[in-house]
Copies of this chain bind each other. A is one copy, B any other.
Amino acid sequence: MVSEADNPEFRIALEAFNSQPFTGLIGASLTRFGAGVAAVEVPHRAELLQQHGFLHGGVIAYAIDNAITFAAGTVLGTSILTAGISIVYLRPAGSSITATATVLGATRRQAVVSCEVHSTNDQGKDVLVATGQGTATIIGR
């Protein structure tokens, strides 16, 4: 991965990412983009919690969905749709999260992508919060 300044594709991806109104509502950032990998960070904000004080599962699902789509975009280009995702929730998240998606393989038409969501627990230790698997396909084929 290279920094945004070095990589025109990262800049284009950032423009697309930041032009998503829902991403603005969540307050997420695209922190990695390139060579089959994309990472989405979601800050700890009171508006993103469920009734027990943990990050809402829907926020974790958003991060996985978006990270998988952008990771697929690094190999398939920008005209893609996410066809489906599977999510396993391992632990509740009480702090900010980072969803890092990695392309496992691709054909001309689709990419299969895995995703790990990490957070920091009460002891300041990095923990795996959730995992995801998904596919994206090129539009119009």
Contacts and interface: CB of A to CB of B under 8 A. Distances in A.
Interface string A108-122: 001010101000000
B47 A20 contact: no
A21 interface: yes
B86 A57 contact: no
B105 A90 contact: yes
Interface string A23-41: 1111000000000000000
Number of copies: 4
Given A46-B21, A58-B61, A59-B22, A86 B83 contact: no
Main secondary structure of the interface of A (DSSP, over half): mixed
Contacts of A132: 133
B65 A22 contact: no
A129 B84 CA distance: 12
B133 A110 contact: no
A81 interface: yes
Interface residues of A, number: 53
A19 interface: yes
Contacts of A23: 50, 56
Nearest to A40: B58
Interface of A: 16-17, 19-26, 46-51, 56-59, 61-66, 69, 81-92, 104-105, 107, 110, 112, 114, 116, 127-128, 131-133, 135, 141
